[in-house]
A and B are shown apart, each in its own frame.
Chain A
Amino acid sequence: MRCLILFLFFTITLQANTIKVCASCDVKTIKEAVLLAKKGDTVLVKKGLYKETKIYISKGIHLVGENYPVIDAEFKTDSVFAVKANDFSISGFKFKNIGMSYIKEIAAVFVSHSKNFTIKDNILENVFYGFIIQSSKFGLIQNNKVTGNSEKESTSGNGVHVWKCKKLRIEQNKIFGMRDAIYLEFVNESSISNNISADNIRYGLHFMFSNHNEYNNNEFRNNGAGVAVMFSKFIKMHHNTFHFNWGTASYGLLLKEIYDAEIHDNYFEQNTVGINIDGCNRITYKSNHFIRNGWALKFTGGCYTNTFEYNNFMHNAFDLSYNSRLNDNKFEANYWSEYTGYDIDKNGLGDVPHRPVKLFSYIVGKTPETMILLRSLFVDIINFSEKVSPVFTPDKLIDKTPLMRPVNPVE
């Protein structure tokens, strides 16, 4: 019986053929090789220049590039690979010059209605969209490097554009100079980790209506508007870095209508706004670092039952600002570099509660124009007097047990 299984196994594996593609091979184009290949076959593309687009893949084959063969789309308005198949993989290619269109979505790899696929180790240069994945499941998009030279939002596309998918893993990709680096819409139960997205003209990461996802260890740097995430539930964001998203319309992280999320151990440095929070409920913010941001936290709408604990707020121009009521949000045991209280019993917790909202940030919330008085002596004086005897800032918005020392200080 065991022999039979082994025999069957070998016959099946032996049946999988490898089709080689190169200038001097029998098969000279990838398109031809894809047509020849049967399910389970491997198409091995040798180093060279292939000027091809519109390669349709409808069976589970493996496309492997050897030493990064270049596929130049010559700015034609068609995707290079259009895939509608299960169990396929694409790896080791270098895609170039994907054309721009106002009406079609054109990508290096366009995947739809597929399952169990792997797209990894590709290099994409000067592309309109990098990868478009639609209505698919169980995919891995790993270790790709996507660069574009986007100038305007209307004429540029996204690095990884995912629509209506489930259980994807997007890992270790590096995405620069696109419109949005990673764009997810209706994507559930997926994990996005260890990606680097920098210098994109709009968002480093952008998702909507995408629930139960995890975002870990990603780095978002110097993106036009930072990271924007909206209308999603049960999200986990751990150990991400948001930094240098600096500009008049820039956010480290913009949250809109996010419910029941966990935002832990993230690092926000030098963003105009660390986190902009709009209508978000039941989120726990724990052990995050807010360092040298313009605003560490900016509330712009009804936010209820959020918890902030063990966060470090260090050297931000404003730690907190809001323009409506901030009921029912809990601040506990955070470290505030502005805290001036004392700790007589030496238990590490300050004996005097800390009020994170300064009078000036309250005034700026009401009348944004007053911002030009930033760092004026008058502002320091009114802040001080408000601190001594609070009149305008809400009584309830306090950290009763501020920490005396930062949590896990980072170098």
Chain B
Amino acid sequence: MLKILKYSIFDLLRSRWSYVYFTFYLLLGFVLLFLNNDVNKAVITLMNIIIVLTPLIGTIFGVMYYYNSKEFTELLLAQPIKRSQIFMGQYLGISLSLTLSLVLGLGIPFVMYGLFKSTAIFDFSLLILIGSFLNFIFVALAYNIALSTENKIKGFGYAILMWLFLAVIYDGIFMISLIIFNEYPLDKFSLFATMLNPIDLSRILILLKLDISALLGYTGAIFKDFFGANIGAFTSILILMLWVVLPLRRIKYKLKRKDF
């Protein structure tokens, strides 16, 4: 597995896409800090980008890598290596290289602008942690879709749809149900609904850490009570982990039955 992991990381490095991704984050970090020079404010702006872009890029990378390396994967499958090891190796390779680009790309400019001296260091590390989680989650989801769909175009379509659903449509449905069921107590429902979507969960986790949480009003207070307590923080990390583990299990399950 390690060998395959190493191979896929090197492969990705050769394909220059991780460099592009890395440079993108690097530029983003520098431009953000150049524009307002305040690490605290930059962290807030960064949140929006991380929450939308990391899932999208994770999804596209996952699907793209699977389809591109399909022939090589088939070659590997002919060797006496366990299927799960091949795919886990590939999965970890993509996720790790994406996470590395994220951490280095954003870390370098922020450290250069005095992150360690600023009070934002905790918020920033939370942001990076959540960004990495989102990478792992969405690459896993993308791999699931790619494994289940032979057709490349269809696979891409489904993957983008999945991202669109979790990033946009889900919130739309959420909002509409909040408006329709306005007369009922909704705090438990909203707590539950945010837990079900990794993007929403990440957004709320970061929002509550930033002092913007005072705007969230009554529901926000309930969220703060829940996530501020140890149980809440523990639960949300657990749920993010579940979001990684469950798709991985499905990959394994799919692999056992798939006829390549």
Contacts and interface: CB of A to CB of B under 8 A. Distances in A.
B57 interface: no
Interface string A369-387: 1111111111111000000
A272 B214 CA distance: 7
Interface string B200-227: 1001100100011011111111010000
Interface stretch (A38-46, A98-106, A242-250, A388-396): A242-250
A369 B168 contact: no
Contacts of B51: 375, 377
B48 to A, nearest CB: 6
Counting chain A residues whose Cβ lies within 8 A of the other chain, the interface size class is 20 to 34
A371 B48 contact: no
Contacts of A57: none
Contacts of A367: 178-179, 182
A373 B220 contact: no
B36 to A, nearest CB: 10
A374 B168 contact: no
Give the interface SS of chain B, mostly helix, strand, loop or mixed.
Answer: helix
Count chain B CB atoms within 10 A of each CB in A248, A295, A379 and give the residue with the most. A248
Given A371-B220, A378-B171, A247 B214 contact: yes
Contact of A368 (B172, B207, B214, B218): B218
Counting chain B residues whose Cβ lies within 8 A of the other chain, the interface size class is 20 to 34
B194 A372 contact: yes
B168 A377 contact: yes
A370 B52 contact: no
B43 interface: no
Given A369-B219, A371-B216, A381 B190 contact: no
Interface string A51-95: 000000000000000000000000000000000000000000000
Given A247-B214, A375-B47, A375-B203, A381 B168 contact: yes
Interface in B141-192: 167-172, 174-175, 178-179, 182, 186-187, 190
A374 B174 CA distance: 12
Contact of A272 (B194, B215, B221): B215
B171 A377 contact: yes
A397 interface: no
B175 A377 contact: no
A378 B168 contact: yes
B207 A374 contact: yes
A380 to B, nearest CB: 8
A366 B223 CA distance: 20
Query: Top 3 closest A-B pairs, CB basis?
Result: A378-B171, A294-B215, A376-B171
8 contacts: A246-B211, A248-B221, A369-B218, A372-B220, A375-B48, A376-B203, A377-B52, A377-B171
